[in-house]
């Protein structure tokens, strides 16, 4: 039982980790540079260590939402987490990127799960309407930009890349809060889905998704900034689809595959579109 629970915890962040590597790969493309695969692996290791740490340091609502992980060997999981984090730090040092880029999300992840207590004051990022979603989105957007900071040609492009990953992460975390409504309600957490309900949460997320993408499209069409059109269009349409499908409390494995795996099928579609239109123009 304990071994099965431990393996479940260790494997729970695999999709998140793979998705993280493809997210950074996408960031390189948006910055107009050739993706550094080694750095993409390092980022995926950071993502794995942060999310696996969260699963190892279970909170009250996790006991309700994931009872099958209750008997996991926490010490063994923490050793694996430490190994992944150290590997990522070594890669960053070799690549001459500040290790702070990897340590920040790790520290935020710990504070997010356990909180911090100063005297009689207790601060926990999971508390407060939308606070968790904002902190998680801010952390990952900042970390991604930190990994590619030297490649960004102008401040507007850097800001848009930051906003792109911020809003995508914000939407995704809210979607996954939808499936944890029961556990969060029992734990007394007022998440966005708990407060607004599924229908209004879906409307809010659709508005955020469309307003951001339309704003970037307007800036691109005005010639103010260059932004990959295929990624922008695919991101918007994919957002419309998976918000409609997964802004609910239904438990399904496809939520992780479609939402976290968005970067994989996004890049696959981009590659197909470039090949197809390239061949079409070449043949004509």
Structural domains counted in the chain = 1
What is the span of the domain harbouring residue 42? 2-275
E strand or H helix that includes residue 95: none
> For residue 133, what are the CA distances in angstroms to 70, 149, 150?
25, 24, 27
Do residues 204 and 243 lie in contact, with contact meaning Cβ atoms separated by under 8 Å? no
Domain membership flag for residue 281 = no
Do residues 242 and 256 lie in contact, with contact meaning Cβ atoms separated by under 8 Å? no
Domain membership flag for residue 55 = yes
Residue whose entry in the numeric block shows the structure tokens 């995508």 = 168
Summarize pLDDT for 168-181 with one digit per residue, the tens: 999 999 988 888 77
Domain membership flag for residue 284 = no
Domain membership flag for residue 22 = yes
Domain membership flag for residue 229 = yes
Summarize pLDDT for 237-276 with one digit per residue, the tens: 999 998 998 878 777 777 777 887 899 999 999 999 998 8
Residue 245 and residue 265: Cα distance in Å, rounded?
Answer: 17
Do residues 115 and 122 lie in contact, with contact meaning Cβ atoms separated by under 8 Å? yes
Summarize pLDDT for 93-105 with one digit per residue, the tens: 999 898 888 888 8
Domain membership flag for residue 203 = yes
- The predicted model scores a pTM of 0.86
Domain membership flag for residue 128 = yes
Domain harbouring 203, CATH code: 1.10.600
């Amino acid at each position: 039982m304990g071994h099965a629970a431990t393996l479940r915890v260790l494997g729970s962040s695999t999709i998140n980790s793979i998705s993280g590597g493809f997210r950074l790969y996408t960031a390189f493309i948006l910055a107009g540079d050739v993706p550094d695969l080694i750095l993409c692996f390092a980022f995926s290791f950071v993502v794995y260590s942060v999310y696996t740490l969260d699963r190892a340091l279970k909170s009250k609502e996790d006991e309700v939402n994931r009872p099958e992980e209750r008997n996991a060997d926490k010490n063994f999981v923490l050793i694996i987490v430490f190994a992944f984090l150290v590997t990522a730090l070594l890669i960053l040092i070799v690549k001459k990127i500040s290790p702070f880029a990897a340590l920040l999300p790790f520290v935020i992840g710990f504070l997010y799960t356990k909180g911090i207590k100063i005297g009689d004051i207790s601060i926990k990022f999971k508390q407060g309407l939308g606070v968790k979603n904002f902190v998680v989105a801010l952390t990952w957007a900042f970390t991604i930009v930190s990994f590619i900071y030297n490649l960004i040609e102008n401040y507007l492009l850097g800001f848009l890349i930051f906003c792109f990953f911020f809003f995508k992460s914000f939407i995704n975390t809210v979607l996954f809060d939808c499936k944890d409504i029961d556990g969060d309600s029992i734990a007394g957490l007022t998440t966005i889905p708990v407060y607004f309900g599924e229908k209004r949460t879906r409307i809010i997320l659709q508005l955020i998704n469309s307003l951001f993408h339309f704003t970037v499209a307007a800036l691109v069409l005005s010639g103010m900034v260059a932004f990959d059109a295929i990624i922008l269009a695919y991101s918007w349409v994919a957002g419309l689809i998976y918000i409609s499908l997964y802004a609910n409390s239904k438990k399904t494995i496809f939520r992780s595959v479609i939402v976290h795996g968005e970067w994989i099928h996004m890049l696959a579609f981009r590659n197909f579109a470039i090949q197809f239109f390239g061949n079409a123009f070449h043949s004509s």
